Structure 1
Amino acid sequence: MGERDAATFAFPHQGYNFNYPGKFQSELVDEMPSGSDHFDILSSSLRFDLSELKKVMPADPIFITILRDPVQTFESVFAYHSSSIPAFTAAKITPSNKTALTVFLDSPETFWDPKIPQNGFAKNPMTFDLGLNNHVWTSSWPADLVLLEETFNLVMIAEHFDESLILLGALLNLELEELAYVRLNSRAIKDVHPLHNATKAKIKAWNNLDVLMYEYFKEIFLERVKQYGRVRLQREVKLLRASTERIRQKCLARKGVPPEELEDLVRPWQTKSLTILGYELHKNLTKQEQGFCLRMVLPEHQYHTHLYYQQYGRDMKAG
């Protein structure tokens, strides 16, 4: 949408994120490009800080985020960051016949040092991302959740993704074709392991604030669905799924493609511990179709780099 409308993006002055795991700071935003007098969109990764964001964005901005089931979120975070977050790395190298995740969850306090900034993501990662105290519940927590509720125009729910997209489309006046998607950053099957009920219970206990936040916003989401109209929403979801399937059939020659078989432009960023799969497009697309299809499968880093160059006419500075 931003590229279509020639919007001005607020980018980090270097890298792909705003000083993560530190909170967002307005001075981290790159300069205003020539010909613009305000920023329209800020979509790079950050830890939420409303007062700092208000210094950058115009009056009455639209805030959007997404939450996911805390059990699935933490399992994914552990898998993707097992070699980069100190608390996870410590569990990973502990001699044991158990998985690193099981070792960590057996005694997470043993591995988690909250004084290490990089460990922020290792406990209640969604709470951490939204700028709240992710260590322990405090008396300010109810008020903090209310403030987030009042701030965000839409909190999407991953387990109701298509329904969330319909609500997003209504909020931003998007057409069904613009809401078409493929699943990005998918792990290879060998890197996905089912969780036992005991493991799920331990994840919930360790991430109790994420559970609280998720349930709070899920209720708000379901109320939003009710207000929109369930019958109307399901009718539009059906249309979205049909439209998306047609577009996938048109665009995709292969899905779940290993990184070594992909061109640099569409190869997802790889972690040290996982294989992240991608997509291959059909060869017989028109130039217009290729542009549309490419943007649907383009990994975040490559799209970020493309938009940055388009806006500034220079390469990004490395993070």
Structure 2
Amino acid sequence: MKSPGSTSRNIKCLIVFSLCLGLVFLSGFFHMKNKNNVISESHEELLPCRAKTNVMFLKTHKTASSTILNIMFRFAERYNLTVALPANELLHLGYPETFQAQFVEEFQTIGQNYNIMCNHLRFNPSEVQKVMAANTFYFSILRNPILLLESSYVYYKDDVPAFKFSKDVNEYLASPTKYYHPANYKQNIYARNIMWFDFGYDNNAEDNKKYIQTVLKEIEQNFHLILIADYFDESMILLKHTLCWDLDDVIYFKLNSRSQDTVQTLTPESKERVKAWCSLDWELYLHFNQSFWRRIEETIGLKELENEVNHLRRRQKELMEICLLNQEAVGKDHINNKALLPYQSGAANILGYNLKQDLDNRTLRTCQKMVMPELQYMSHLYAVQHPHKKRKQLGLPLA
């Protein structure tokens, strides 16, 4: 028989053991709870971000922006979004006048309920904000001013007074003030600092360091992202990531490009003269080219960027094999379907595409939208969104 003291000791041990077991259980409970919280937090981090559907793209001139406009229009159709289209007979949103909300079709009725804005306009933030929602994502694209000026010269040769009377782009750049008169700035906007003008600023302003820094800061405040046309595929990957879009949302066929035989070769002297003549655009480009690559390094990384660019190009090649008869763009005289003929301007031969003939209806619609030129696509969307309005008269030259 056990003594009373032994029984008491056993009871105490049992109590201590129970307490320890309880502490172990509680410790495990809290550990599991914390572990579950970590899993939950980690799971939340892995959740896909939500695609942005309120987007404003400032369509700058001669910067591959027509290709981006096509991307925006296709995205709008895919998700049944409302596009801020030019009112009445307008083909652009009032350009080159500074943008006003009244330039948008049915603004008085629709108000601040547009999802997409991407037609040409001269940026005016206060008026754009009347049309677009408060959570709108703003982005634009820039191009090396040296390449841009040569492209502008050829494309607008017949329309811009500063270009008309010079033999070629090198002659123009040798003494631009001989041909360019600031008093005719609305007619000559394509001949100097056109990107600066598109962002809403004076393209004839003095090259003043303080002024330039003020403008660059304003642009950074107004726009969430600035892409670079010289790195277009890389730009599309960055855009995809930033907007949380799918790869097919940014797949493209290059639009509004011209034949190589219309490209004029700039002399080394002319290239340097562009930097001085278009110094505002040059500073704009240098600044945002740096921020573009910094953004990529901070968000995607160069190795992953390379992988995704290769994926984009493979998908693009796949779609070209499905859609295109020639597997490439062709000159204006070789476009079979004149409804798909791009607008022709100046001395440029704007290329277009021929589609395969044996496509099923669904594939045909997809392919048609990928190659549809800017004015035709805008007219199509206008008819869909405003069926009771008169169709846009595009006045496309058929030559």
Same fold (TM > 0.5) = yes
- Counterpart in the other structure of 1:95: none
For 1:239 and 1:46, the matched residues in 2 are separated by 33
Q: 1:259 aligns with which of 332, 338, 343?
A: 332
- Counterpart in the other structure of 1:288: 362
- Counterpart in the other structure of 2:232: 161
Q: 1:144 aligns with which of 202, 205, 215?
A: 215
Q: 1:217 aligns with which of 288, 294, 312?
A: 288
- Counterpart in the other structure of 2:171: 103
Q: Does structure 2 retain, via aligned residues, the 8 Å contact 1:127–1:209?
A: yes
For 2:108 and 2:361, the matched residues in 1 are separated by 28
- Counterpart in the other structure of 2:308: 236
Compared CA separation, residues 86 and 127, structure 1 to 2 (3 A): same
Compared CA separation, residues 172 and 258, structure 1 to 2 (3 A): same
Q: Does structure 2 retain, via aligned residues, the 8 Å contact 1:266–1:298?
A: yes
Q: Does structure 2 retain, via aligned residues, the 8 Å contact 1:8–1:36?
A: no
For 1:258 and 1:159, the matched residues in 2 are separated by 23
**Structure 2 unaligned regions, length at least 5:** 1-74, 395-399
For 1:36 and 1:289, the matched residues in 2 are separated by 35
What letter is aligned with 1:177? D
After TM superposition, give the deviation of residue 19 of structure 1 in Å. 2.2
After TM superposition, give the deviation of residue 316 of structure 1 in Å. 4.0
Q: After the TM superposition, which residues 35-184 of structure 1 pair with which residues of structure 2 at under 5 Å, given as runs?
A: 38-91=113-166, 99-116=167-184, 117-135=186-204, 136-138=206-208, 139-184=210-255
Larger radius of gyration: 2
Of all paired residues, the percent bearing the same amino acid is: 34
What is the total number of aligned residue pairs between the two structures?
312
**Structure 1 unaligned regions, length at least 5:** 92-98
Secondary structure of the residue aligned to 2:183 is coil
Q: After the TM superposition, which residues 24-39 of structure 1 pair with which residues of structure 2 at under 5 Å, given as runs?
A: 24-32=99-107, 38-39=113-114
Secondary structure of the residue aligned to 2:350 is coil
Between 1:260-269 and 1:73-82, the stretch displaced more is 260-269
Does residue 249 (structure 1) correspond to residue 321 (structure 2)? The answer is yes
Compared CA separation, residues 34 and 132, structure 1 to 2 (3 A): closer
Secondary structure of the residue aligned to 2:283 is helix
For 1:318 and 1:46, the matched residues in 2 are separated by 19
Secondary structure of the residue aligned to 1:178 is helix
Compared CA separation, residues 101 and 35, structure 1 to 2 (3 A): closer
Q: Does structure 2 retain, via aligned residues, the 8 Å contact 1:188–1:256?
A: no
Query: TM-score when scaled to structure 1?
Result: 0.92
User: Which protein has the bigger helix share?
Assistant: 2
What letter is aligned with 2:127? E
Does residue 185 (structure 1) correspond to residue 256 (structure 2)? The answer is yes
Compared CA separation, residues 105 and 253, structure 1 to 2 (3 A): same
Compared CA separation, residues 269 and 223, structure 1 to 2 (3 A): same
After TM superposition, give the deviation of residue 32 of structure 1 in Å. 4.3
- Counterpart in the other structure of 2:372: 298
Q: Does structure 1 retain, via aligned residues, the 8 Å contact 2:157–2:164?
A: yes
What letter is aligned with 1:4? R
After TM superposition, give the deviation of residue 219 of structure 1 in Å. 0.6
Query: TM-score when scaled to structure 2?
Result: 0.74
Compared CA separation, residues 285 and 142, structure 1 to 2 (3 A): same
For 2:110 and 2:273, the matched residues in 1 are separated by 53
Q: Does structure 2 retain, via aligned residues, the 8 Å contact 1:83–1:272?
A: yes
After TM superposition, give the deviation of residue 318 of structure 1 in Å. 4.7
CA RMSD of aligned residues (A): 1.9
Deviation readout 1:148-197 (Å, 9 max, x if unpaired): 11221211111111111011112222221222112112212321122221
After TM superposition, give the deviation of residue 37 of structure 1 in Å. 6.7
